[in-house]
Amino acid sequence: MQAPESRSDPLEVLLSVAEEFAARPENTTAPSPDLIRRLFQIETDHLHAEHGERSTVVATVRQVIEQSVTPT
């Protein structure tokens, strides 16, 4: 009934911008596509988080970034 394929995909837009960002010589540190996917998923899952819940989202985002920069 609907035409879901017609809608713009925000994640695609994000990944495309991230690719361009990484290609610019002045950007020595560029976020990885995987990190962007994970953060976007967190934000989509908590789209309507307010105040108290927002700080939990911030803590999750911090944790994900820290994990991404920690050599495993």
Partner 1 sequence: MIFTSIRIRNFGRFYGTHTIDLSNGLYIIHGENGLGKTTFLNAVKWAMYGEYFDRQGRRVAPEAAINSDAYREGDKSFQVTLGIDDGGAQLLLRRTQAVAGGTNQRSELYLERNGVPQSQVAAGQTINRLLSAEVSRFFFFDGEQLQAYESLLFRDDSETRLVKQSIEQILGLPAFDNAVHDLRAVQEEFGRRQAALARADRKSEAKGLLAEQKAKDLDAARSDMAELLEQDAKLLAIVQRNDEFLQAYEASLGTLRKIEATESEISEMQKRSALLKESRATALRGAWVDVLASAVAPRARELDEELVAEHRMITESILVDHRRREIEGAIAGGRCTLCGHLLDDADLDHLAHEMGEMPATSSQDGQRTPRVGLRMASLATIVSTGQIDQAIDLDRRVSELQADVVAKRQDLSRLRAVIDDLPENAVNAAQRERDQAQQELGRQREHIERREADIRDLVASLQRALADIRSESQDVEQQKLGVAMDTASGLVAVFEEAKGRFREQVRSRVETDASDVFVQITNEPTFAGLRINENYGLEILNDRNEVVAMPSAGQQQLVALALIAALNRNALRSAPVMMDTPFGRLDPSHRANVLKFVSGLAEQVFLLVHSGEVAQIDLDVVRGEITQEFDLVRSGPDRTDLMPGGTGA
List interacting residues with partner 1 (CB under 8 A).
Answer: 1-4, 6-8, 10, 13-14, 16-18, 21, 27-31, 35-36, 39-40, 43-44, 46-50, 54, 57-58, 61-62, 65-66, 68-70
Under a CB-based contact definition with an 8 Å cutoff, are residues 35 and 68 in contact? yes
Query: CB of residue 25 vs partner 1: minimum separation in angstroms?
Result: 14
Task: Indicate the residue among 25 and 66 with the shorter CB distance to partner 1.
Answer: 66
Query: CB of residue 15 vs partner 1: minimum separation in angstroms?
Result: 9
Length of the chain: 72
Cα of 7 vs its chain's centroid, Å: 19
Query: CB of residue 68 vs partner 1: minimum separation in angstroms?
Result: 7
Angle at 54 between CA 50 and CA 60, to 5 degrees: 150
Under a CB-based contact definition with an 8 Å cutoff, are residues 49 and 57 in contact? yes
